[in-house]
Amino acid sequence: MIISIGSDHIVPDIKMKISEYLKSKGHTVIDNGTYDFVRTHYPIFGKKAAEKVASGEADLGVILCGTGVGISNSANKVKGIRAALVRDVTTARYAKEYLNANVIAVGGRITGIGLIENIIDAFLEAQYQPTKENEEIIKGIDSLIKNDEGQFGNEHFFDEFIEKWDNGGYPKE
Ligand code: RB5
């Protein structure tokens, strides 16, 4: 499979471990960054990683920030994305089987790498069950979101916010 991955500056090292793990399993990885510990912000990488999935360039996505909360919320703002923040194998399987999640998020500071690998395995191996009920639920979820004009694929979408971050308008971490 082709897996799109992304993280913020808090856990790029964990992202690299995930990348290596996926490659060792024979998957192709699209790494959307970030690539070092220089302060940036998770929405940029949630958006980038999610858009590869939404466009069909990647089959599925795996994203992470410190807690997984910020980046999963960001990915969920991309039309066509159903991102699930996951901390256990059962939820990972459920997210795919019932909600056809196409991205999973983990907290790189919360969940250990061994469990993250198990979560990824469960998510990739689980098969979506397209029952009438599941299809209706997913249709409802998908109908909630529309991209902002100029959002999809726009590298400059966050420029205004990045300027604020650079000027100390947001927390330091
Ligand atoms: C750092 O920006 C931290 O807030 C982030 O990694 C994440 O934990 C947010 O949910």
Contact call for residues 75 and 51 (beta carbons, < 8 A): no
Query: Taking CB atoms and a 6 Å cutoff, what residues make up the pocket around ligand 1?
Result: 8, 10, 42, 65-67, 69-70, 173
Closest CA to 5 of 104, 114, 117: 104
Residue 2 near residue 28, CB atoms below 8 Å? yes
What confidence tens digit (pLDDT) does each residue in 124-136 have? 999 999 999 999 9
Q: What is the pLDDT of residues 110-123, one digit of tens each?
A: 999 999 999 999 99
* 30-62 pLDDT tens trace: 999 999 999 998 999 999 999 999 999 999 999
pTM for the whole thing?
A: 0.94
Pick the CATH number of 2-166 from 3.40.1400.10, 3.40.50.300, 3.40.50.20, 1.10.3720.10: 3.40.1400.10
d(CA 32, CA 4): 7
Catalytic residue among 3, 65, 92, 120: 65
